[in-house]
Amino acid sequence: MQIHLRSVVLPVLALISFSSQAAESLNNEQKLGEHLFKDANLSLNRNQSCATCHSLNPANGSAPSPGFVDPDNVNTFYWNKKEGLYMGGQFWNGRARGLKEQAQEPFLNPREMAMLGISAVAGRIKEGGKYHQLFWDAYKVNLDNIQDESFPDNGKKPADDEKIFALAARAIAEFEKTTVFNKFNSKFDYVLAGKTTFTAKEEEGLRLFNGKAQCSACHISETTHFKSEGAHNKKGKIMPPLFTDFTYDNIGLPRNAAIPDDPDRGLGGRADIAAMDPDGNELGKHKVMTLRNIALTPPYGHNGVLVSLKQVVHFYNTRDALGELFTDNTDTINFGITGWPLPEIQQNVNVDELGDLKLTSEEEDAIVAFMETLTDDYPIWGNDPNVPMNSPPPFSISP
Residue 267: the pLDDT is: 93
* pLDDT tens for each residue of 125-183: 999 789 999 999 999 988 876 555 555 556 566 789 999 999 999 999 999 888 788 78
Mean pLDDT estimate for the chain: 82
Supply the pTM of this predicted model.
Answer: 0.79
Strand 78-80 versus strand 248-249 pairing type: unpaired
% of the chain residues with pLDDT over 90: 58
> Is the pLDDT confidence value at 348 over 60?
yes
As a whole number, mean pLDDT of residues 97-111 equals 85
Helices (H) and strands (E) in the chain, counts: 13, 4
Phi-psi region of 239 (alpha: psi -120 to 50; beta: other; left: phi over 0): beta
SS3 366: helix
> Is the pLDDT confidence value at 230 over 60?
no
Residue 84: the pLDDT is: 80
Residue 21: the pLDDT is: 38
* pLDDT tens for each residue of 234-254: 445 677 898 999 999 999 999
